[in-house]
Structure 1
Amino acid sequence: MDGWARIGVGDIGVALDPSIGNIRALTVSGRDILHTAHWVGTDAAVHADAQVDEHLAGDFFCAPFGGAGVDGVPPHGWTANSNWSAVLRAENEDMAVLKLALDRDVFGARITKELRLVAGQSVLYQIHTISGGQGDLTFAHHPMLRMSAGGHVGFSAKKAAITPGEPLELAHRFAYPARATDLSKFPAADGGSVDLHSYPVETGHEDFVTLVEAEDNDFGWTAVTRFAEDDIVLILKDPRTAPITMLWQSNGGRGYAPWNGRHVGVLGVEDGCGAGAATIAQAASGNPIADEGVTTTLTLHPEQTTQVRHAIAVVPRPEGWAGIQDIAPSKAGLTLTSLAGAQIEVPFDLVFFGN
């Protein structure tokens, strides 16, 4: 047995590895929606820098996000590298719930995780509750999608897109540092521009960009239309707690082990609170993301509790749909509007985000 915790209802199921708090699989009608790196479960995994990379797959909650810059804190924090203990597991024909608690504190804060599935909805609802603690904390979700033939990426309104001061890798397409308000014309390394709505088919690059949510948004979303996989994956957030979306294009730009140039066609859609790839100290001080008018750290307090709500929904791609231009609340849940103006309804619990 793999030791994973599993819940399911109807045609949707989730498998979580409690040893690192990683959602290893999100299945709809038996098909896994999320990405698993090619080295996971092989001898090559020993070359990974941390447990989170050794088991790189699915989605995981990072607290702190990225490289914390704090001695003893692993990449993406203890939430993605240490054990979670089950608190509750319940399933019936209407709903399935799994609750867990992180076995250790994060800067004195206790963190719990709740996964929820609802019959008739191809949606994974997640709640991470951060209680107590002291100091500054960055955090983000880290779902990864495989896009073997590229695809279209739609977004709720963004104020700006910003790359870090330096690229993650020598092989990259984006300009660093750069800023743009038109996501279809982001500055490129070659002096031209790239369309952040389009995931490229060509390989050999690694890129990272932070999108800042528009000020008047009360509902944040990313809609990934995958061409070969023939589906639409919706990643939904509350921008009041997660004001940024970080896009990681991992497309063969890392030639060293365990990546070996084979980690291609992967998109990370990382919603959270932080200053992109910056350390906690950098996120807590002046930085280009904070200059856009958003909070880039969560300030912990012994008497404070914060809930981070996040959802992943899966929709079969209607014939002829090349992408999503808008998502809006509706009586049924969500109305999706295609690039050509066609619409479909998707079941979703809007109360989850307080709407």
Structure 2
Amino acid sequence: MNRTRVVVLGAGIIGAACARELSLAGFDVLVVDRGRPAGGTTSHGEGNILVSDKGPGAELALAQLSARLWPEIAAEYPQAEYDPKGGIVVATTDDGARSLAAFAEAQIEAGVVAEPLSPKELAAAEPALTRDVTAAFHYPQDAQVQPAGAALALLGSALRHGARLRVDTEVLGAVVVDGRITGVRVPGEVLGADVVVNAAGPWAGELSARLGAPIAVRPRRGEVLVTMPMPGVVRHKVYDADYVGAVGAGSGALQTSAVVESTWGGTVLIGSSRRRVGFDDTIRPGVLSAIAAKALRLFPALAEVAVMRAYGGFRAYVDDHLPVLGEDPRVANLWHATGHEGAGIGLSVGTGLLLRESLTGATPSIPMEEFTVDRPAVLA
């Protein structure tokens, strides 16, 4: 049995997925979090597992890998509330329709299932959706989970396979001997390790500096509105095609787009926003109003529905919009698994598998060159 000691820093869904895969492979895994499992970014998202918002390339390949893994994992853990409901992307202008059609065509060539919908088919699929739509595509591979439930299921699996968990434990620094990390310092002690995995999400940049190998991962904030239950009104994840542009925008200014979907409980989640404000967690009414206004253009019936609450969270942002997954070139045996921005829930299980394959010497399921730590956007 492989008894390599691995300390995974972060008990969100990325850390949980990594811990699960490494525990299954026989590693001696300790998960350390400064708070509680799934208590940060993971519990402040929508639980999306998407291929629809990713163009051809490395991130799409990781999304496709993860999408293949999720059904098997969800079958084992019903508390994840896996819902393969599919997504529908719409355009509301002529220019938007042309851009969406070209984007979908490129995705199809990369193996994504994207089905054009006629106005009649769209009305049947989403009766409450506005008829002012110039193009629509159905993505049956899109799905959703309950994010905290999914993370806790993955972490629970790791614990059942021998992993251990330390909560409310702040990492203060690293112990490095001859250029190789041998442990992390926490209050009052050193946690010895053969391998350390930085899976701290939007806090990974700050944590990496403490470990002596800073990476350019920063927080990018988003907000979501939650309505009172209205079962059956929204049947898929539905969003305007400009969402893809908002995800890929590099500006720190506010970006909003219409993203609407329901949960198993019948509430409707309304997003989305993106803005760089550091770790300022203030809920801004103006941001919520901008989100609501765009959603109402897609689903006018939402105007009569009460908003039950709003929440926000921080995404792990990297300038080139790609995850960071690999060993740090400056400190041996320090690995990073972060930078997934708003896609971390969906990409988590594929990320965990790739880390396991890397640490065991197996051939990676997909090429990993574009995720390396030594690229300009990460070491900037």
Higher percent of residues as strand: 1
Bigger radius of gyration, 1 or 2?
2
TM-score clears 0.5: no
Higher percent of residues as helix: 2
What TM-score do the two structures reach when normalised by structure 2?
0.24
What TM-score do the two structures reach when normalised by structure 1?
0.25
Q: Which protein, 1 or 2, shows the higher relative CO under an 8 Å CA cutoff with sep ≥ 6? A: 2
